[in-house]
Amino acid sequence: MKGGHTLFLVGLTGGLASGKSTVAEMLAQSGLPVVNADRIGHELFEKDRDIRERVVALLGTGILDPQGGIDRQKVASAVFSDRTLMTRLEAILHPAIGDEIRKRVWALAKAGHGVVVIEVPLLFESGWDSLMDLTVVVDCPPAEQVRRFLARGGVSEEEAKRRIASQMARSERLQRASVVLDNSGRREALEAGVRRLLELIEERKAGH
């Protein structure tokens, strides 16, 4: 993925409702380009006819909204309760998402960016962590994840807990991280952690 360009790749991940998107926004505001794998997946649902048809064939027309588009909440409800379906959905989406991430990273490298942040919810599960120079996990206690997930609306507490439990164990995610950002407290504390992360990125990139 890096090719002949001197790129420093930062993989950003975390459990559901841990705050990784908040950290991604902070990093983007600092001037670092962020490539969001989830957003690419959503775009593929909307724009890639082949993928759309394959997903509907896998999960059925019940995942469609009244306008005929794919309802991502219905997709999530279907696959989080069925590991086999999840694996089959990932087999459809992940190669296309990976191709698009590579295209965007190349474009950013050609534009002169030396650091690119790639936000990937399943960073370790997909094996993408092996391509990163630094892996960052945003973390908070499971009870706080559930509280934040419920605040978004649309799911029950039981469903929120089930989706969180379906992901990689928190202990393994923390063990595999290069850097852990604690997001269990106030926003100011998280902002301080992001500032330290930016300093670390600069240090590591200088020795890259």
Contacts of 120 (CB under 8 A, 6+ apart): 11, 12, 13, 37, 126, 128
Q: What is the pLDDT of residues 108-166, one digit of tens each?
A: 999 999 999 999 999 999 999 999 999 999 999 999 999 999 998 888 999 899 889 88
| Within a domain: 3 | no
Residue 118 backbone dihedrals phi, psi, to 5 degrees? -115, 115
Confidence band (pLDDT; 50, 70, 90) for 2?
Answer: very low
Cβ-count burial of 154 within 10 angstroms (0-12 exposed, 13-18 middle, 19+ buried)? exposed
Q: Are strands 134-139 and 115-119 parallel, antiparallel or unpaired?
A: unpaired
* Predicted pLDDT of residue 161: 92
- Token pair belonging to 40: 């690419």
**How far from each other are the two terminal CA atoms of the chain, in whole angstroms?**
16
Range from 52-61, 88-97, 136-145, 149-158 carrying the lowest mean pLDDT: 149-158
In order of 44, 51, 57, the CA distances from 94 in angstroms are: 11, 11, 17
Confidence band (pLDDT; 50, 70, 90) for 5?
Answer: low
The range of the structural domain enclosing residue 140 comes to 8-206
Structural domain tally of the chain? 1
Share of the chain above pLDDT 90, in %: 82
| Within a domain: 1 | no
Hey, is 180 helix, strand or coil? strand
| Within a domain: 61 | yes
Confidence band (pLDDT; 50, 70, 90) for 1?
Answer: low
| Within a domain: 135 | yes
Asked if the model's pLDDT at residue 67 lies above 80, the reply is yes
* Predicted pLDDT of residue 80: 84
- CATH code for the domain in which residue 40 is found: 3.40.50.300
Question: What is the mean pLDDT of the segment spanning 33-40?
Answer: 96
* Predicted pLDDT of residue 87: 92
* Predicted pLDDT of residue 4: 46
109: left (phi over 0), alpha (psi -120 to 50) or beta: alpha
Share of the chain above pLDDT 70, in %: 98
| Within a domain: 2 | no
Contact 119, 171 (CB under 8 A): no
Confidence band (pLDDT; 50, 70, 90) for 208?
Answer: confident
* Predicted pLDDT of residue 6: 77
